[in-house]
Amino acid sequence: MFRKILIANRGEIAVRVIRTAHEMGIACVAVYSEADRDALHVRMADEAYLLGPTPAAQSYLNVERLIDTARRAHADAVHPGYGFLAENAEFARRVIASGLAWIGPHPDAIEAMGDKLRARRAMDAANVPFVPGGTEPIADVTAAHIAAERYGLPLALKASGGGGGKGLKVARTLDEIDSAFSTARREAEAYFKNGTIYAERYVENPKHIELQVLADKHGTVLHVGERDCSLQRRHQKIWEEAPAHIPASVRSGIREAGIHAARSIDYDSAGTIEFLVAGDAFYFLEMNTRIQVEHTVTEMTAGIDLVREQIRVAAGEPLGYAQEAIRFSGFAIEGRVNAEDPAEGFRPAPGTIVGYREPGGPGVRVDSAAYPGITISAEYDSLIAKLIVWAPTRSQAIARFRRAIDEFTVKGVPTTLGILRALCDHEPVVDGSYGTATLEAFAASSFSVIPSSASESEQGRGTATSVLHAINGVIDVEVNDKLYRVRFPAGIARADSGLRKAPRLSKGVGRAAAASGNEIHAPMHGVIVEISAKEGDVVAEGQVIAVIEAMKMMNEIRAHRAGTVASVLVTAGATVEAHTTILTLT
């Protein structure tokens, strides 16, 4: 077994790996950027090393620095976590070539599944069904129109080297194809340095089902059940549960296909095979050759520490048990507590957490690296914590999840806690019939006007009233020294927003309209990826004039009115603060 592991990641997944490694008697080496000097994973590790400046490209993605640090620390192995370099076959090869063990599948498996077109061809050869569509790149908009004629509308245009909804755009009409293609390619190049796009038929409101697999280096391939990850915004998951609510025939078909798919590439680690389910039909979507964010619900229902199994397999140990030994029990739900504002189209909301209290009690688990005073940086993703619950029945799990959310306090930034709480009472969620379109439709239709402070009339009439705070969709109000707690289940109460109604959510990337008079402002801290208007251009209301990247999300900035561009005040590649003027109109 390994003596020391370097964790090439940050945040809650680094903390998660450290905890299991310490239980196994393995020392841990943390790495960090300048922004993460005070991060929890740095404090918990046995030793820690600075990688470089805050931007990931200069720190967590710096392959040379990571390998040099592993050598300097005399580590035996590298655990990549998820994100960053976790599915980078070249990084895995570099780790192995340097004499270190790679805690993940062999690089050829990563490569086979890392490119979506290559994966589709592999599944075709293995007779695993995949979503109707092409297995070759779409070269230009003309080819995209041909694909629409061949596969029908709506058409999904997807980054071959991507995942997590990035580089994925949906054209519902022929008029939308040009814009969808160019936007998908732009995101693919920005996120993955690979502009290859392919087309497939977009399946409306399916279930997004994942099969967890475990495989060792001795030929054993097992499944650890399914997860339902259909509740998503911008194709990013927010609520996951196990087991999945699907027909028995689909469950058995997915398990058989998933194990067959893993065997076809000689897989040898923990991995996830994703499917779309529509009625009694299921289609291969992609394979994630790493630990998943939502691995927790599988652990809760199967009683298996998946990170421990990853480490054991990487050390050459056999799994040591057969499929029949994996027994599933109860139901588990995970909710992602993100620094995002659902009332603003799930806009990323970096900032400092000034108050933080986790829930507890039977069947409650929180995976997090947060604490009071930590800053959620715009340079990284928006995840604050993962709230996980387990209970013997699904209805009890939802009730426990609801209770745990009510106990969870995060102050200083907007979060997704309120919408997670509202979903607990949403009928399609309660009965398990929800699909991938459920969350955004619910958020767009259910937010209502939310008072964040008492009005002058409410504070009159001789009654002593004061609003103490408003978090997680709850307002605390004292009236004549008695505390009243008012819940607004359809939205998020915010202490600084006054009376407000949430805008309808956009489809695809986030759409921000931050404007005042003749000026159009950056809606958040981020990097200007593209400026699509220049001085003298005539723009229409709603036209995209810029794209800003923040917390791993692309956000289109649109003109709030028609006009002529008088001046452009930023350039592509510039880092801007929230409310910075981008351009002016006349």
Its domain, for residue 539, covers 510-585
Is 31 among the domain residues?
Answer: yes
Which of the pair, 469 or 219, is modelled with greater confidence? 219
In the sheet with 197-201, reading across from the earlier edge strand, the strands are: 168-171, 155-159, 197-201
Residue 464's pLDDT band (cuts 50, 70, 90): low
- Verify that 92 and 138 share a domain, yes or no: no
**Structural domain contains residue 391:** no
- Count of beta carbons in the 10 Å neighbourhood of residue 4: 17
- Give me the pLDDT at residue 454, please: 28
Q: Are 411 and 356 in contact (CB under 8 A)?
A: yes
Question: How much is the average pLDDT of 208-237?
Answer: 96
Greatest alpha-carbon span in the chain: 78
Is 71 found in the same domain as 10? yes
Q: Count the helices and strands in the chain (H runs, E runs).
A: 16, 35
Report which of residues 462 and 67 the model is more confident about. 67
Within a domain: residue 576? Answer: yes
Q: Is the domain of 8 the same as that of 98?
A: yes
Place 458 in a pLDDT band, splitting at 50, 70 and 90. very low
CATH code of the domain in which 573 resides: 2.40.50.100
pLDDT at position 331: 98
> Could you give the number of structural domains in the chain?
3
Coil, strand or helix: which one is 537? coil
517 belongs to a structural domain: yes
Residues 78 and 142 in one domain: no
Is the pLDDT confidence value at 117 over 70? yes
Q: Residues 8, 99: one domain?
A: yes
Higher per-residue pLDDT: 558 or 321 = 321
Starting at the edge strand that comes first in sequence, how are the strands of the sheet with 27-33 ordered? 47-52, 27-33, 4-7, 77-79, 101-102
473 within some domain: no
CA distances from 231 to 333, 426, 428 (A): 12, 12, 11
* Res 513: pLDDT: 44
Q: How many CA atoms lie within 13 A of 69 on its CB side?
A: 25
Same domain, 561 and 518: yes
Distance CA 455, CA 498 (A): 10
**pLDDT at res. 549:** 78
Pairing label, strands 482-487, 575-576: unpaired
In 279-379, which ranges are E strands?
281-288, 331-338, 340-341, 347-348, 351-352, 355-357, 364-368, 375-376
On whether the CB atoms of residues 331 and 391 are closer than 8 A, the answer is yes
Q: What pLDDT score was predicted for residue 532?
A: 87
Give pLDDT, residue 495: 37
72 has pLDDT over 90: yes
State yes or no: pLDDT of 19 exceeds 60.
Answer: yes
Asked whether residue 154 falls in the same domain as residue 92, the answer is no
Same domain, 19 and 77: yes
Judged against a pLDDT cut of 60, whether residue 502 lies above it is answered with no
Q: Kindly report whether the global pTM for this prediction surpasses the value 0.85.
A: no
Question: What's residue 197's pLDDT?
Answer: 95
Tell me what the mean pLDDT of segment 199-215 comes to. 96
Q: What integer pLDDT is reported at residue 345 of this predicted model?
A: 81
Let me know if residue 51 belongs to a domain: yes
Among 103-107, 184-188, 302-306, which stretch is predicted with the lowest mean pLDDT? 184-188
Mean pLDDT of 510-520: 64
pLDDT at residue number 499: 31
pLDDT greater at residue 492 or residue 119: 119
On the question of pLDDT at 500 being above 50, the answer is no
Q: Confidence band (pLDDT; 50, 70, 90) for 215? A: very high
Using pLDDT thresholds of 50, 70 and 90, give the confidence band for residue 472: low
Q: Please determine, for residue 459, whether its predicted confidence score (pLDDT) is greater than 50.
A: no
Q: Using an 8 Å Cβ cutoff, are 299 and 233 in contact? A: no
Q: Which of residues 201, 224, 258 is at a domain's end?
A: 201
Pairing of β 27-33 and β 4-7? parallel
pLDDT at residue 153 tops 80: yes
Q: List strand residue ranges (DSSP E) for 268-394, in order.
A: 270-278, 281-288, 331-338, 340-341, 347-348, 351-352, 355-357, 364-368, 375-376, 383-391
Do 18 and 94 lie in one domain? The reply is yes
CATH number assigned to the domain comprising residue 154:
3.30.1490.20
Q: To the nearest whole percent, how much of the chain has pLDDT over 90?
A: 71
Kindly tell me if the per-residue pLDDT of 507 is higher than 80. Answer: no
Q: What is the pLDDT of residue 218?
A: 98
Nearest-5° Cα angle at 135, 223 to 231: 50
Percent of the chain residues past pLDDT 70, beyond the cut: 88
Q: How confident is the model at residue 12 (pLDDT cuts 50, 70, 90)?
A: very high
Specify the CATH number for the domain of residue 28.
3.40.50.20
pLDDT per residue over 367-387, tens digit each?
A: 999 999 999 998 999 999 999
188 belongs to a structural domain? yes
Asked which of 103, 122, 143 is the last residue of a domain, the reply is 103
Of the residues 201, 218, 237, which one is the last residue of a structural domain? 201
